[in-house]
Amino acid sequence: MSLKSFSIRLASMIVTLFGVAVVVFVVIRVAPGDPIAMMLPPGASEADIERLRGLYGLDKTVVEQFFIWLGGVVQGDFGTSISLRQDVLTIVLGRLPATLELATMALVIACALGLLLAVLGTRRRGRRAEAAVDLWNGMTLSIPDFLWGLIFILLFAVAIPLFPVSGRINPQLNPDYVTNFLLLESILRFDFAVTGNLLRHMALPALALALPLSAVIAQVLKQSLKEVMGLDYVMLARAKGFSEFAVIWREALRNAILPTLTLAGVQFTFLIGGTVIVEKLFSYEGLGNLAIDAVINRDLPLIQGIVLVFAVLFILINLAVDLLYATLNPRLRNG
């Protein structure tokens, strides 16, 4: 990426973030629900309402509030959460690793499953196996992730209690880690008791998130493979006597996977957004669960902080996908 295109990209990111900041700031103030009214007990007078409003800085105009908040954000101060009474950025960054680990695990499962299904469908095209793959894809796609979550809870946590229903880690374990990337850190520390426990807690929510995405990946990849399989170089590989599996795996997949990669990148951002309901269902202590509580409590600074961090994340992921795509695609790499 040249300096000029990098500068353009950076400027575009700043404009996007400013736009997100304005929209979220205005929307949550226009939306019904006053945080002060939410915390008022019976007996509070108009004077009590005004006192609390002033205490939380909500007595100023929306424009004044916005610029005070923006001035803080520029200096890394996202404000103080009304409900949690802690620094917003600290809270959000503390939760982000849990969501990133969950979403990454879901993406890995989705990619592996999608790849498997696509290769199987292509290898057995025109046969019952392909029909079964299509049927499975249709089914996994039509059932939303939270419903998969409920099904998995009933099957693998209640009927056959193999996995825990809720949480990120067994409360009995007390890993004294430096970061909140518990899975990554436990692997690096060879602390497999913690790794195993984290994976057991992560398995059902990650699978619930992964299934619909795996169907999308499988469909797109299968279609790409179908197109590539008719190209000359694939025919040549066949003529050389390569097995059908080797043709798909070694020759066709390399070219067919590029559109899927872009898709997976875009879907990863949706996956992070999708963790909101699944995290709530599994009481998983990530950013999504936090977001729901923030909305319920009308915790304006926290909502703003979460949305802004989500926005930064989405922009960075898209940037990473673009860079990766440019690296892998020879036409873009040489262009």
Partner 1 sequence: MTLTRRALLGYGATGLGLSVAGLPIRASAQVQDLTIAYNVNLPSWDPTVGPSAVNPTIQGIYQSVFDQYIGQKPDLSLTEGLLTDWGWTDDYSQVKLTVREGVKWHDGTEFTPEDVVWSLERAGNPETGNPIQFIWSTIGNFRIDGNVVTADVKQFDPTLIKWMGFLTGYVLPKHYMEEVGPEGFEAAPIGTGPYMVERFERNAFVRLKANPDYWGGAPEFETVTIKFVTDASSRVAEVESGASHVTLEIPYEEYDRLKQKPGLEGVTTPVSDIAMIFINDVEPMLDENVRRAMHHAIDKQLIVDRLLSGYGVPIDTLQTPQYVAYDPSIQVDYDPELAKELLAKSGYGPDNPVRFTIQTTRGFKPKDYEMIQAIVGLWRRVGIEAEIEVYEIAKHFELRAADQLAPAAFYNWGNAIGDPSTSTGHAMFGPTPHSVWDGQELIDMIGPLWGEPDEQKRIEGWKAVDRKIAEDGLVIPLIQYVQPIIHSAEIEVTPHVSGALHPHRMTRA
Contacts of 288 (CB under 8 A, 6+ apart): 99, 273, 275, 276, 277, 278, 279, 280
Residue nearer to partner 1 on the CB measure, 62 or 193: 193
User: Within 10 A of 156 (CB to CB), how many other CB atoms are there?
Assistant: 17
Residue nearer to partner 1 on the CB measure, 22 or 40: 40
Considering only 2, 30, 42, 335, the residue that binds partner 1 (CB under 8 A) is 42
Q: What is the 3-state secondary structure (H, E, C) of 293-324?
A: HHHHCCCHHHHHHHHHHHHHHHHHHHHHHHHH
Residues between 70 and 89 with contacts to partner 1, criterion CB under 8 A:
82-86
State the nearest-atom distance from the C-beta of 29 to partner 1, in Å.
Answer: 12
Residue nearer to partner 1 on the CB measure, 32 or 126: 32
Q: Does 282 bind partner 1 (CB under 8 A)?
A: yes
Burial of 16 (0-12, 13-18, 19+ CB in 10 A): middle
Residues between 129 and 158 with contacts to partner 1, criterion CB under 8 A:
150, 153-154, 157-158
Q: Does 193 bind partner 1 (CB under 8 A)?
A: yes
Considering only 29, 123, 200, 238, the residue that binds partner 1 (CB under 8 A) is 200
Residues between 46 and 65 with contacts to partner 1, criterion CB under 8 A:
46, 48-49, 51-52, 55
Distances (CA, A) of 127 to 237, 238, 244, 253: 23, 20, 15, 20
∠ CA(169), CA(145), CA(266), 5° rounding?
A: 95
Q: Does 93 bind partner 1 (CB under 8 A)?
A: no
Q: Does 11 bind partner 1 (CB under 8 A)?
A: no
Three-class DSSP category at 46:
helix
C-alpha to C-alpha distance for 50 and 55, rounded to whole angstroms: 8
Q: Which residues bind partner 1 (CB under 8 A)?
A: 32-35, 37-46, 48-49, 51-52, 55, 82-86, 91, 95, 150, 153-154, 157-158, 161-172, 174, 190, 192-193, 195-197, 199-200, 203, 280-283, 285, 289-290, 292-293, 297-298
